[in-house]
Amino acid sequence: MNNTYKPAMTRYHGKRTRKININKLLVYIPMFSLLFISTIPLLWIIRTAFIPQSLTLDLTAIAAPVLDNFKRVLAAAPFGKYYGNTIIIVVGVLAVQFVLITLAGYAFSRIDFYGSKALFVLFLSQLMIAPEVLILPNYTLMTKWGLTDTRIGIMLPFFASAMGTLIVRQTIKTIPYELEEAAKVDGANLFQILWKVYVPLLKPAYISFGMISASFQWNNFLWPLVMTDSVEKRPLSLGLAMFAMSYETGAQWSDVSAATVLVCAPLLILFIIFQRQFMESFMHSGIK
Amino acid sequence: MDSSQILQTSACLPARDEVYQRALHKEIRSKWRRTLTGWLLLAPSLVFLAIFTIYPIIKSVISSFYKDNLSVMDPVFTGLDNYLSLFHDMVFWECFFNNLLVAVVTVPISIAFAVIMALFANSLKKGKTIVRLGFTYPTFIPLVAAANIWMFIYTPIYGLLGYINPEWRFLADSDTAIWALIVMLIWKQAGYIMLFYIAGLHGISRELYEAAKIDGANSVKIFIKITWPMLKPTTIYVLIIALTNAYKMVDHLYIMTKGGPGNATNVLLFYIYQTGFDYWDTGKASAMTVILVTLLLMVTSICFFVQDKKAYYND
């Protein structure tokens, strides 16, 4: 009944197009302003990082970009060491997480077993109460084990991931069971099935979770703050905070900006390069 | 077939029907075998969950009943004293209400922005990538780094806002400080939430929209009747993430305000950190940890029960 022909639509066709354009403008102007506002902090920090120190406080100053600020920062604080620590932590956590979430995600999606519902709720509880809320008891535990001020101590609480398990579980559910059955007929055991059938198909899940988890570890602050007391084991986020805290006045803004850019750049560049894959993976993995 | 299904079927049949009995036993045996496999696959994760999530919660509950600070050599059992002293601790309540304010304001506004941004990015034919990057990049900036950046924005006179009006001292004024931080948190969070909505929008079938358009629905109606209801699972998931984040994001306080001025921007987790690691009052900090854990469990359980468990239990 609804799809009756409406001659009015054709008659006012020209007018309608104009109206759409005004509508479009009404959407575009606020949205692009929002986009601009969202990018101001980034643009400003990059500008301050590359401008000669003497011009830092002059907002209208225009100058050719210089690397002096970065040179000073690298001379003043061991950012190379911080980078190394953060990379070890990120890679270490991700490596263990990938193995654990694959096993757990498979168990929750493909196996019907006693206790699965209860265990699933237990996993979800970690989604609610993240390890960083439990800094105090976890720190006490690490002191008891003598793991404070070690990289492994910083990594341990994050090895099990409820979020990763959920993503793998949802993704496996979209994979046809016939693939597994075919492999079984060929005589593959459980680990061969996981490795040959599921791991390749879980790539989108790994990419999207990997990106989220890596950025979480890269950015993690409070836990490393209580765990480390030496420069040797300090990750980037903490190094940056210590560096920024050592300056009180605005005169060193160019240095703090340069340090901030140093810390943010790798993840941002990774994100820009893998943006398309990340978005695609994010849409096709179970996150919905 | 599910073993319970077989149980039900076999219950209707005469017990002497041996074929079914055998099938039932075989099914139960194989379920036990599957149970072993399932638990073994979960074991590594369970070990870490037990040690770093479950045990610490129990540990916090226990130490919250003890007086354990610098005034005593060994922890002394004091019952509910820690909780009672928290009840009379003005700072605790200030943190509690600040946290509530941050959650109640940040979460809905971030979600609203995220949905609008996701719809906008999806509607574009050109420049999709740039728009997505512009909105999501704050996700990949460490909160401490974001705090540095926003310090430059908020600093009076020399900061970015200082150029507009040198009199603005948002972070130094106890009435505005928390709002200044909320603005930053929304900036940081909205892009992250947008990612989930872009994924959610991707999952809605095009046919629904086409059918609605044929029926002559306008875009507002389409959003209210189709898009928003279809995004419900995403919204539930996002709510959980955003609400728990609202209680976890404290890194910026370390750089920007240290919880001040006074305790105007202090929140529970940061107060736990201060109590536990600056004043070494383990008992009190444990009691607060228990309260925070309870709060998080309550908030997220409500989210779970509000939805019909669809996103998690069904395929």
Q: Do A268 and B44 touch (CB under 8 A)?
A: no
Chain B, 86 to 105: residues with Cβ < 8 Å from chain A are: none
What is the rounded distance in angstroms from the CA atom of residue A240 to the CA atom of residue B151? 14
pLDDT in tens, A20-34: 678 778 888 888 888
Predicted pLDDT at B270: 92
Q: Tell me the DSSP string of B242-294.
A: HHHHHHH--HHHHHHTTT-STTTT--HHHHHHIIIIIS--HHHHHHHHHHHHH
Task: Write out the two tokens for B66.
Answer: 């003890």
Q: Rounded to whole angstroms, what are the CA distances from A156 to A83, A97, A223, A236, B42?
A: 19, 10, 11, 18, 17
> What angle do helix axes A203-219 and A236-245 make, rounded to 10 degrees?
30
Chain A contact set for B55 (CB, 8 A)? 137, 141
Give the pLDDT band of residue A235 (cuts 50, 70, 90). very high
Q: Is A153 a member of any domain? A: yes
Residue B9 pLDDT > 60, yes or no? no
Residues of A in contact with B254 (CB under 8 A): 221-222, 225, 241
Residue A187, sorted as left (phi over 0), alpha (psi -120 to 50) or beta, turns out to be left
Which of A77, A69, A217, A219 is closest to A157 using CA atoms?
Answer: A217
Mean pLDDT calculated for residue range B95-121: 93
Interchain proximity B35–A156, CB inside 8 Å: no
Task: Please indicate if any CB of chain A lies within 8 Å of the CB of B166.
Answer: no
Report which secondary-structure segment, H or E, holds B77.
strand B76-77
What pLDDT digit, counting tens, does each position of B146-157 carry?
988 898 888 877
pLDDT (average), residues B9-29: 71
Is the pLDDT at A252 greater than 80? The verdict is no
Q: Pick A2 or B81 by higher pLDDT.
A: B81
Sort out which chain A residues have CB atoms less than 8 A from B250's CB and list them: 222
How far apart are the C-alpha atoms of A84 and A76, rounded to whole Å?
17
Grade residue B272 by pLDDT with cuts at 50, 70 and 90: very high
**CB atoms inside a 10 Å sphere around CB A58:** 11
Query: Of B38, B49, B133, which is closest to A160 when you measure between CB atoms?
Result: B49
Residue B125 has a pLDDT of 81
Q: How many domains does chain A have?
A: 1
Q: What percent of chain B has pLDDT over 70?
A: 92
pLDDT (mean) for B179-193: 92
Cα gap B267→A7, rounded to integer Å: 62
- Tell me the shortest Cα–Cα distance from A137 to chain B, in angstroms: 5
Residues A162, A164, A170: CA angle, nearest 5 degrees? 100
Work out the average pLDDT over B119-125: 86
CATH classification for the domain delimited by B81-313, as one of 3.50.40.10, 3.30.930.10, 1.10.3720.10, 2.40.40.20: 1.10.3720.10
- Find the DSSP H helices in chain B: 3-12, 18-49, 55-63, 81-87, 90-123, 128-136, 143-154, 160-164, 177-202, 206-214, 219-222, 228-230, 232-248, 251-256, 268-273, 282-306, 310-313
Span A155-166, pLDDT tens digits:
999 999 998 998
Q: Quick one: pLDDT at residue B223? A: 86
Which chain B residues contact residue A39 at CB under 8 A? 134, 137
pLDDT for residue A18 is more than 60 = no
Quote the pLDDT of residue B264: 86
- C-alpha distance from residue B155 to each of A4, A193, A244, B301 (Å): 62, 58, 14, 40
C-alpha atoms less than 13 angstroms from C-alpha of A210 in its C-beta half-sphere? 21
The reply to whether residue A136 touches residue B282, judged by beta carbons under 8 angstroms, is yes
Q: How far is B308 from chain A (nearest CA, A)?
A: 15
CB nearest B199 (choices: A104, A119, A288) = A288
pLDDT band at A287 (very low <50, low <70, confident <90, very high): low
Mean pLDDT score, B125-129: 83
pTM over 0.80: yes
Confidence of residue B307 (pLDDT cuts 50, 70, 90): low
User: Is pLDDT above 90 for B24?
Assistant: no
What the block records as the tokens of B285 is 């900090």
B115 vs A contacts (CB less than 8 Å): none
- Inter-chain touch B132–A275, beta carbons under 8 Å: yes
Indicate the DSSP class of residue B2. Answer: -
- HEC readout, chain A: CCCCCCHHHHHCHHHHHHHHHHHHHHHHHHHHHHHHHHHHHHHHHHHHHHCCHHHCCCCCCCCCCCCHHHHHHHHHCCHHHHHHHHHHHHHHHHHHHHHHHHHHHHHHHHCCCCCHHHHHHHHHHHHHCCHHHHHHHHHHHHHHCCCCCCHHHHHHHHCCCHHHHHHHHHHHHCCCHHHHHHHHHCCCCHHHHHHHHHHHHCHHHHHHHHHHHHHHHHHCCHHHHHHCCCHHHCCHHHHHHHHHHCCCCHHHHHHHHHHHHHHHHHHHHHHHHCHHHHHHHHHHCCCC
* A107·B37 Cβ contact <8 A: yes
Give the confidence band of B303 by pLDDT, cuts at 50, 70, 90: confident
pLDDT of residue A51: 82
Q: Residue B116: is its pLDDT beyond 80?
A: yes
Owning domain of residue A242: 74-284
CB contact (8 A) between residue A38 and residue B146: no
Per-chain mean pLDDT for chain A: 84
Question: Which chain B residues contact residue A271 at CB under 8 A?
Answer: 133, 136-137, 140
Mean pLDDT of chain B: 84
pLDDT for res A152 = 92
Residue range B177-194: mean pLDDT, rounded = 92
- pLDDT higher than threshold 50 for residue A91: yes
pLDDT at A17: 53
pLDDT band at B55; cut points 50, 70, 90 = very high
pLDDT digit string, tens, across residues B216-257 = 878 888 888 888 888 888 888 888 888 888 888 888 888 888
Bridge partners, residue B77, by sequence:
B66
Asked whether the beta carbons of residue A267 and residue B141 sit closer than 8 angstroms, the reply is yes
Residue B186 at interface with chain A, using a CB cutoff of 8 Å: no
Angle subtended by helix axes A68-76 and A13-50, to nearest 10 = 50
What is the reported pLDDT for A5? 47
Q: Please tell me the predicted confidence (pLDDT) of residue B4.
A: 53
Q: Take residue B73 and report the two structure tokens written for it.
A: 């050599």
Whether residues B276 and A260 touch (CB distance < 8 A) is answered with no
For the segment B303-315, the average pLDDT, to the nearest whole number, is 57
Count A/B contacts: CB-CB distance under 8 Å: 276
Asked whether residue A10 carries a pLDDT value surpassing 60, the answer given is no
Please check whether residue A285 is in contact with residue B203, taking contact to mean a CB–CB distance below 8 angstroms.
no
Least Cα separation, residue B188 to chain A (angstroms):
9
What percent of chain A stands above pLDDT 90? 23
User: Is B202 an 8 Å CB contact of chain A?
Assistant: yes
Cα–Cα–Cα angle for B297, B298, B300, nearest 5°?
Answer: 65
B277: contact with A, CB 8 A cutoff? yes
Taking residues A59-75, report their average pLDDT.
80
What confidence tier does A4 reach under pLDDT thresholds 50, 70, 90?
A: very low
CA–CA separation, A111 vs A193, rounded Å?
14
Question: Is residue A20 domain-resident?
Answer: no
CA distance A199 to chain B (A): 15
Q: Given CB atoms, is B208 within the 8 Å cutoff of chain A?
A: no
Q: Do A119 and B46 touch (CB under 8 A)?
A: yes
Q: Which residue of B has its CA nearest to A286?
A: B199
Query: Contact B160/A157, CB-based, under 8 Å?
Result: no
Nearest to B276 among A136, A141, A238 (CB): A136
pLDDT band at A141; cut points 50, 70, 90: very high
- pLDDT for residue B11: 53
**Chain centroid to CA A30:** 28
Which pair of structure tokens corresponds to residue B152?
Answer: 């430059």
Q: Is residue A15 part of a domain?
A: no
Average pLDDT over residues B159-186: 84
Q: Are residues B120 and A271, on separate chains, in Cβ contact within 8 Å?
A: no
> Cα separation of B168 and B82, whole Å?
40
Query: Are the CB atoms for A254 and A56 separated by under 8 Å?
Result: yes
Question: What is the ipTM metric for this complex?
Answer: 0.82
A63 is a domain residue: no
pLDDT at A8: 47
Q: What is the mean pLDDT of residues A49-63?
A: 76
**The residue count for chain A:** 288
Chain B residues with CB-CB distance to A215 below 8 A: 139-140
pLDDT band at A2 (very low <50, low <70, confident <90, very high): very low
* CATH 1.10.3720.10 intervals, chain B: 81-313
- Calculate helix-pair angle for B128-136, A13-50, nearest 10 degrees: 50
How far from each other are the two terminal CA atoms of chain B, in whole angstroms?
17
The number of residues in chain B equals 315
Q: Of the ranges A24-33, A121-130, A246-255, B123-132, which one carries the lowest mean pLDDT score?
A: A246-255
From the list A157, A253, A276, which residue is nearest B152 (CB)? A253
Measured distance CA(B187)–CA(B35) in Å, rounded: 46
Q: Is the pLDDT of residue B312 over 70?
A: no
Q: Which of A40-44, A84-88, A123-127, B99-103 has the lowest mean pLDDT?
A: A123-127
* Residue B6: pLDDT over 60: no
- The enclosing domain of A141 has a CATH number of 1.10.3720.10
pLDDT for the residue numbered B148: 86
Q: What is the pLDDT of residue A6?
A: 47
pLDDT confidence of residue B215: 83
